[in-house]
Amino acid sequence: MYFSKAAISLVCVLLILSVFMANLLNIIAIDNFYAESSNIGENYTKYLGKKYGQMTDSTKNLLWFLQISDIHISIFRDPARIAHFQQFTDITVKSIKPLIVLATGDLTDAKAKDNLGSSQVKKEWVYYHNIIKESGVTEYTTWLDIRGNHDNFNIRTINSQENYFRNFSIQGTTHSKSYAHIVEHNGVNVAFLGMDACPDPGLRRPFNFIGILDVQEQQNLEKLKNEADQKADHLVWFGHYPTSCILSLERDSQRMSVRELIGSAGGSQVYVCGHLHSMGGLVKQMYTKHKKGYLELELGDWKDNRMFRLAAIDHGLFSFIDQKHNSWPIILVTNPKHARYVLPGREPLQLIPESTHIRILVFSDVKIESVKISFDKISWMLCKKKDGPLYVCRWLPHLFATGLHKLYVEAIDEMGKNNTLEHPFSLDGTVMPFGITSRLMLMLDAGAVFQAVFGTLLIINVLPLVILRLQKRPPKYMRRYGQKILRSLWLLSKIDRIFYPIVLYAIYLPLGPWVIGELIDGYIGTIFAWGILIKGTYLPEPFTYTYGSVQLLFVQLPLILVLAHCLDTRLFAQNLRGYKRLIKNMPFIFLLSIQLLLAYFFWLEYGTISFLFGPLRTWSVVLSTLLWYKTLTLPPDYCRYLIKLNDLPS
């Protein structure tokens, strides 16, 4: 019978895991149904192919642009960040001469000297504005900037004087929120659509991680998209937040996700963003292709990694490469296109096998000496320089008709700096997969993930104690140490004065207010697990669940284990004295230190009122201390009852 229960439990667990994995794989699956079978996509690519014609060595039908993200200009940290940004505008932009520069949010740091408080710092915005203006880049390129969450810290309304983006950015004077910029250059007609998902009002950190598109902004974006789709052949979307970190509010009982919005435009090829900082460098290439057939490309930050992106549209084909600052030469192959980033139904891929020349953009801060290519790294062919940065070389596409192939490009400038690029391509539709981590980060719903983690931790904190309380005897476990822990938890669940406060506090977290405090200067708000109330406005900020998860994982769950340990000491090691007794209480002292530290950080972030009226952080310190004291001072009669209950000798 025991084996049967274990087997049934195992089957149930495996079934739940299999359902979870199936749903997860379905979410991150890259489905090319739209691109391969849609009549709209087929007609669109035929139109582009007819418009652009054969790809030869001509410099027509080609444009390129740059992206920089998460600059985080700060007057308190890393002075080189500002100096290198000035080099970017003075040298990099002038050397590449892009048609457009996209600055996708977090233009300034907006964090206090202690790195915890957050508010707009006018001097940082002045630095940003002056560097761009004094460099003169706006005289020959268009600088399109948009806000990030740091640019929205502690802003009461978008029209408040603290919103320095309106006065010190390049586009803020004319576009306070989302906007479109349509250009026709060298035979290419492209619309750049900037998406501002910053919540209004803008809270101080950390509850400003998820972007929110309210009904009004959704309508504005839909209008911009429709106009751009009619006037431009190609749509390049840009914003700060990845689509996984944008929440669309319901309108007319319906909710259009940002991915549906982007994918519904036939000319949409790519959405470029920042915000995640390549997860601290752990996911350096955070790219994916969504089910609607367009790319999403998160760019590593300028703040710590000094990254920027070079992208091009050549005869309707979108190509890009991410580059580290001051790393020359820069090589971007535009034909044949990289096998991983092909977009069937959204670009004229039929032009590649019909082309006569390999096409490569090469840039350096000095003159390029030579560019050569190879397919085997043995025999090299020199490329011919055309006007500007374009280098071409004749090729025979039919030799590479099937399978995956690699093109190697080597560029050398007059200073002797060289760079070699490995470029995989295919002409028969053979594709390369995207990394699983990148797909998870960009295709999941961050808010749903935060909520699921919080719910799971809540169950872990409540359900085991409830189950143990209903059992008449402690559950059996083969290992001695595990048996001791289960016995202590079982005994703890039998103490009403401990059990009910622990369980009720955990149940309170998803329901009651966590903090009442000055969330924006001059405005009192209330934080719940399910959102934030301030200025008569409800902000469904899912990042609150992360804060609750930290409380459950690093405070509530350890507290249960520490109290069980203290109870075990109280019942079965009553003769401990001196330093041994102190050592036995060290786990609680360590836990209390963590709680005090978390409460202190919250005080620095949101002030004294939030510290005093903070059930999540401050009040939990009082509760933990009280429960610890009650555990250590159980009456002797209660102790004897528990020992007898466990059927152990006193």
Same domain, 383 and 482: no
Domain membership of residue 650 (yes or no) is no
In this prediction, residue 34 carries a pLDDT of: 47
Domain membership of residue 243 (yes or no) is yes
Give the chain's mean pLDDT. 88
Cα(397)–Cα(404) distance, integer angstroms: 13
Nearest to residue 113, comparing CAs of 103, 102, 125, 121?
121
Domain membership of residue 337 (yes or no) is yes
> What CATH number corresponds to the domain at position 311?
3.60.21.10
Same domain, 453 and 372: no
Same domain, 53 and 22: no
Same domain, 125 and 199: yes
In the chain the first and final C-alpha atoms are separated, in Å, by 33
Q: If you count DSSP H runs as helices and E runs as strands, how many of each does the chain have, helices first?
A: 19, 25
pLDDT higher than 60, residue 1: no
**Amino acid occupying residue 169:** S
Which residues on adjacent β-strands are paired with residue 270?
Answer: 236, 295
Domain boundary among 388, 413, 443: 443
In this prediction, residue 254 carries a pLDDT of: 63
Q: What does DSSP say about strands 390-394 and 357-363: parallel, antiparallel, or unpaired?
A: antiparallel
Q: In what order do the strands lie in the sheet with 62-68?
A: 142-146, 100-104, 62-68, 307-314, 317-324
CA distances from 601 to 19, 463, 485 (A): 39, 30, 32
Q: What share of the chain is helix, strand, coil (3-state, %, to 5)?
A: 45, 25, 35
Same domain, 9 and 93: no
Task: Evaluate whether 495 touches 450 at the Cβ level (below 8 Å).
Answer: no
Neighbours of 362 (CB within 10 A): 25
Task: Evaluate whether 547 touches 554 at the Cβ level (below 8 Å).
Answer: no
pLDDT higher than 80, residue 17: no
Q: Residue 373 belongs to what H/E stretch?
A: strand 368-374
Mean pLDDT value of segment 533-545: 88
pLDDT higher than 70, residue 6: no
In this prediction, residue 289 carries a pLDDT of: 94
At residue 610, φ and ψ (nearest 5 deg) are: -65, -30
In this prediction, residue 605 carries a pLDDT of: 83
Task: Evaluate whether 62 touches 313 at the Cβ level (below 8 Å).
Answer: yes
Q: Residue 313 belongs to what H/E stretch?
A: strand 307-314
Cα(236)–Cα(144) distance, integer angstroms: 12
In this prediction, residue 640 carries a pLDDT of: 73
Mean pLDDT value of segment 378-399: 93
Domain boundary among 387, 409, 443: 443
Mean pLDDT value of segment 593-615: 89
Domain membership of residue 618 (yes or no) is yes
Total length of the chain: 650
Domain count, the chain: 3
Same domain, 407 and 488: no
Mean pLDDT value of segment 530-535: 89
pLDDT higher than 80, residue 3: no
In this prediction, residue 85 carries a pLDDT of: 96
Cα(51)–Cα(316) distance, integer angstroms: 9
Same domain, 330 and 428: yes
In this prediction, residue 604 carries a pLDDT of: 84
Task: Evaluate whether 532 touches 460 at the Cβ level (below 8 Å).
Answer: no
Same domain, 290 and 147: yes
In this prediction, residue 545 carries a pLDDT of: 93
Cβ-count burial 35-73 (b if 16+ within 10 Å, e if not): beebeebeebbeebbeebeebebbeebbbbbbbbbbbbb
The predicted-structure confidence for 364-373, as pLDDT tens digits, reads as follows 999 999 999 9
pLDDT higher than 60, residue 28: no
Mean pLDDT value of segment 417-437: 92
Cα(191)–Cα(228) distance, integer angstroms: 6
Mean pLDDT value of segment 384-404: 93
Confidence category of residue 477, pLDDT binned at 50, 70, 90? low
Mean pLDDT value of segment 287-306: 94
Confidence category of residue 646, pLDDT binned at 50, 70, 90? low
Nearest to residue 609, comparing CAs of 541, 521, 524?
524
In this prediction, residue 2 carries a pLDDT of: 44
Cα(219)–Cα(10) distance, integer angstroms: 49
In this prediction, residue 90 carries a pLDDT of: 94
The predicted-structure confidence for 148-202, as pLDDT tens digits, reads as follows 999 999 999 898 999 999 999 999 999 989 999 999 999 999 999 999 999 989 9
Query: Domain range for residue 628?
Result: 446-645
- The whole model's pTM is what? 0.90
Give the E-state strand segments of 158-233 in sequence order.
179-185, 188-195, 211-213
Domain membership of residue 309 (yes or no) is yes
Confidence category of residue 336, pLDDT binned at 50, 70, 90? very high
Same domain, 175 and 199: yes
Burial class (CB in 10 A: 0-12, 13-18, 19+), 615: middle
pLDDT higher than 70, residue 557: yes
Task: Evaluate whether 174 touches 216 at the Cβ level (below 8 Å).
Answer: no
Domain membership of residue 608 (yes or no) is yes
Which residues on adjacent β-strands are paired with residue 384?
Answer: 392
Contacts 24+ apart (CB under 8 A), 109-115: 109/72, 109/73, 109/74, 109/76, 109/77, 109/150, 109/303, 110/150, 110/151, 110/153, 110/154, 111/74, 111/76, 111/150, 111/153, 111/205, 112/76, 113/76, 114/604, 115/76, 115/77
Give the E-state strand segments of 429-547 in sequence order.
515-520, 523-528, 531-534, 537-539
Q: Residue 34 belongs to what H/E stretch?
A: helix 33-37
Q: Higher model confidence: residue 587 or residue 29?
A: 587
Confidence category of residue 36, pLDDT binned at 50, 70, 90? very low
In this prediction, residue 208 carries a pLDDT of: 87
DSSP state letter for 552: I
Same domain, 450 and 572: yes
Same domain, 182 and 62: yes
Q: Which of 55-64, 121-130, 573-582 has the lowest mean pLDDT?
A: 573-582
pLDDT higher than 60, residue 244: yes
Domain boundary among 426, 443, 460: 443
In this prediction, residue 574 carries a pLDDT of: 57
pLDDT higher than 70, residue 18: no
DSSP string, 83-100: HHHHHIIIIIHHHH--SE
Neighbours of 281 (CB within 10 A): 12
Mean pLDDT value of segment 107-119: 88
Domain membership of residue 274 (yes or no) is yes
Confidence category of residue 567, pLDDT binned at 50, 70, 90? confident
DSSP state letter for 472: S
Question: In this prediction, what percent of the chain has a pLDDT beyond 90?
Answer: 63
Task: Evaluate whether 541 touches 210 at the Cβ level (below 8 Å).
Answer: yes
Same domain, 358 and 465: no
